[in-house]
Structure 1
Amino acid sequence: MTDEEDALHPSGFLTEEQARELFSDMNEVILAGEEMRRLRSEMITLFAGLGWTQERIARLTGMSQPAVSKQVAKARPGGPTPPPDIALEQHDTPWLEGRLWGLAEEISATLDDSAHCTRFTDALGRGRKRFTPQNVDALRRLVEKDLRERRAELPGSHRSAYDAIGRGLDVPAKTAATGAAGTGSAAVRRALARRIQRDRLGSED
């Protein structure tokens, strides 16, 4: 039976559109898992290059030491990765996106998950949304709405952080490209900036 005949003779179980949505959801989760595995591999290589022992990395990642060793050996032909600059004030786009993500998560946590940005940050964390220009703009609008409508409930450090991030993201691409490009892939830089931004805000609250 051809695809056209299948469409004309539904099984009575699911329509083709329902099946398409079902597989689409599965594919998103699978893709997110693959991306997270790649990110973890890069982070393992990064920490190993900084001198962390494989046993220590294994304990922190929940992996076995042989599995960590395999990841490190796989990356070895390219040589050690230079240690990244982890100063908060950096201006390449992935770093700023990571800071925005971390800020949004802190806003969500401060507002007990009732923030406008909560669902969006959760989708980013689960890999259901990715860092496209459109999604970054959407997240900025949600963060701005939270900062505006829930101002009395949020520390001033959140507004200050957003102002700095927003100025950086508003810089034209050619100008931003001349700034610090940073070490590591875009995903690694987002992950580092996200963590550092959250820690900075947590220490200031």
Structure 2
Amino acid sequence: MAGEESTDRIPEALTEEQAGRMLSAMNEVIRAGEEMRKLRAEMIKVLVGFGWTQDRIARLTDMSQPAVSKQVAKYRAGDPPPPVTLSLDQRDIPWLEGRLWGLAEEISETFYDTARCTRYVNAIARGRKRFTPENVDELRRLVEEDLRTHQPELPSGYRAAYDEISRALDLPSGATTTASASVRRALAHQIQRDRLRDGA
């Protein structure tokens, strides 16, 4: 009887739905990792354009010297890339998306438990959310809601940055650089965060 009871409790094989959910989560991690490797390679190209040494790039990317040399040689095979403009006031969509992402991340870290944008920011970081027009609109809505909710505790620069980003997203212009959209997003994200922390 005991043997029969234990046999009854053995679960059947995974259902297709269960396997799909499990593999989907794995695929997200793998895809995010591949995208980060590609972004890192593109960032090396940007750093080469700034004239950085291979030693410096290797140290910052935590890559071996030969691996960096291989990347640098690939980019130096053709014309050197023009340096990327780092001015915050640029109006192409990837740059503005990066600024919005940086602003949302600052709000999320400041009010982690109560910020409406926290889940969205975490999903972006894990590669579960892409920068589609619909997702950007949703992130804008969440950031605007957080700015209203936490207005007394936030520096005025947060609202000013959002207003500037939002107006520019409504009337964007084309990019003036050859850098990829993901590189421009990553650069704008970091520069926006640094600017907010500096209180500018």
- Return the TM-score normalized by structure 1: 0.88
* 2:83 counterpart of 1:83: yes
Secondary structure, aligned partner of 1:204: coil
* 2:66 counterpart of 1:66: yes
Deviation string for 1:103-155 (max 9, x for gaps)?
Answer: 01111122245311112112111212111111111111110110011111111
- Seen in structure 2, the aligned counterparts of structure 1 residues 181 and 49 have a Cα distance that, compared at 3 Å, is closer
Counterpart among 180, 184, 187 of residue 189 in structure 1 = 184
Deviation string for 1:59-102 (max 9, x for gaps)?
Answer: 11111111111111223333211001111010000000000000
Q: Which residue of 2 aligns with 1:5?
A: none
- Return the TM-score normalized by structure 2: 0.90
Show structure 2 runs of 5+ residues with no match.
1-10
Give me the whole-angstrom Cα distance separating, in 1, the residues matched to 2:58 and 2:180: 22
Structure index of larger Rg:
2
Q: Which residue of 2 aligns with 1:99?
A: 99
Matches within 5 A, 1:93-132: 93-132=93-132
Show structure 1 runs of 5+ residues with no match.
1-10
* RMSD value, Cα: 1.5
Matches within 5 A, 1:41-52: 41-52=41-52
Which has the larger displacement, 131-140 or 180-189?
Answer: 180-189
Q: Which residue of 1 aligns with 2:195?
A: 200
> Aligned pair count?
190
Give me the whole-angstrom Cα distance separating, in 1, the residues matched to 2:85 and 2:74: 24
In the TM superposition, residue 32 of structure 1 has moved relative to its aligned partner by 1.0
Residue type at the aligned position of 2:191: I
Q: Equivalent pairs: percent with the same residue?
A: 65
Secondary structure, aligned partner of 2:177: coil
Q: Which residue of 2 aligns with 1:24?
A: 24
Secondary structure, aligned partner of 2:194: helix
- Seen in structure 2, the aligned counterparts of structure 1 residues 191 and 203 have a Cα distance that, compared at 3 Å, is same
